[in-house]
Amino acid sequence: MITIGFLADYPNTIPTLAKWFGDQWPDYYANRSQSEMEQDFLEDTSRDRLPSRLVAFESSALAGTIILRENGTEMLSEFQPELGGLYVVESHRGHGIATELVRAGMQLARNQGYKTVFATTVAAAGIFERLRWEFLQTVVYQEGPTALYRCKL
């Protein structure tokens, strides 16, 4: 069973999330300490304004996360708000958790009054396409090409 809630309700998950992100994106977080990364996650604990992070549990085990934020990159500042930071730990992948996190993020955006939400992705294009998001363009960052999607809520 998959359950999704606000990070604000599960602050004890922050050290695990910080470790996961540091392990998944070591180059990006190379100059950040564990405590600095945990502080970043603490800033995502709002329920009713941006940034607002959700966490997913499968059978009561922390399984993944997503964030609704203003924008993850200055290059695409007009594409707001953005769902980003989608991550499911490897041991829970393939169980529909990422899809449920995206759906929950869409609902969160609706609840906050947004009519449109955006996302960029390297690995989750299939999820956005199955949920009928519209592909807008490919954006090339230093790390490589990324797909930009839009969803009208």
Whether 75 and 147 have beta carbons less than 8 Å apart is answered as no
Judge whether residue 27 has pLDDT over 90: no
Average pLDDT over every residue of 129-151: 90
User: What pLDDT was estimated at residue 57?
Assistant: 98
CATH code that applies to domain 2-152: 3.40.630.30
Instruction: Locate the domains of the chain by residue range.
Output: 2-152
pTM of the model: 0.93
Taking all residues of the chain, what is their mean pLDDT, rounded to a whole number? 93
The Cα 122–Cα 85 span in angstroms is: 11
Q: pLDDT per residue over 58-113, tens digit each?
A: 999 999 999 999 976 666 667 889 999 999 999 999 999 999 999 999 999 999 99
Tokens 């997913």 correspond to 56
